[in-house]
Amino acid sequence: MSLPVLVHRSRKGAEEFRVVRPAEPLTRAALIDHERYLGAYLDGSAARGIAELWLLAARSPRSLVHVPLRANGRPDRAVPDGTGSPLDLVLLHHSLQFAPSDWKRVRGRPGPGRPRTVSLPEAVGDAPAVDHAARHHLENRDLFHQHVHAETLFMTGSAKVFRETAQHFLTVSREGPPHTPDDRGSTHLCTRLYADAGILGRDARELHIEYCDQSRLSD
């Protein structure tokens, strides 16, 4: 699987950071902070794009995978109560030990982006085997930890947890309406990163992932 990206080098003092962004913006996507939980609203193409970037984060432990979404705003048609703050998204491996408080400075000094095509060894669509019981062991360290800083959600985790949870976005991409309307004609499809699934750290909030067609995501 090949994924076109832009690779930026950004400096903070003596440190240099590798920031990877999708080559094409994901315009049919929104990430909203609802305080009690986080909401991702995506059409099929954007859901697949996020899945690919999720897998990229799994194999790029020295990179910050930045997905600009905040400029897409809050799609009121997709968020009926019109509440919540739009966020950008950064995916990163826990071994990078990046401090979210440094993000505003790093984001403001991205340097010129160089186009690259990244090969994803994981076949997009082949779900990895998951040991659900092991996720609930006390020694499990394959957890997502979250921070929100500078209007950005940081999802920090291990390669394993990124690989195993990319399937949530692929489900929305493949099974989202109009493919699977129910017997009442509903076109709603969603999934979640659940708090009790053994994949979220103690202070992490659930991430609700909902399919939204283009008309609902348009202003």
* CB-facing half-sphere around the CA of 134: CA atoms within 13 A: 8
pLDDT at 45: 92
pLDDT band at 219 (very low <50, low <70, confident <90, very high): very low
pLDDT at 79: 62
Q: Is the pLDDT of residue 49 over 80?
A: yes
Residues 121-169 have pLDDT tens digits of 655 556 666 766 667 666 667 899 999 999 999 999 999 999 999 999 9
Q: Is the pLDDT of residue 21 over 90?
A: yes
Average pLDDT, the chain: 84
The DSSP line for 47-89 is HHHHHHHHHHHHH-TTEEEEE--GGG---TTTSTT--SEE-EE
The strand pairing partners of 20, in sequence order, are 7, 65
pLDDT at 183: 47
pLDDT at 175: 82
pLDDT at 132: 66
Residues 177-200 have pLDDT tens digits of 655 554 445 567 889 999 888 889
Query: What is the rounded average pLDDT of the residues 50-71?
Result: 95
Question: How much is the pTM?
Answer: 0.88
The DSSP line for 185-205 is -----EEEE-TTTT-B-TTPP
pLDDT at 166: 93
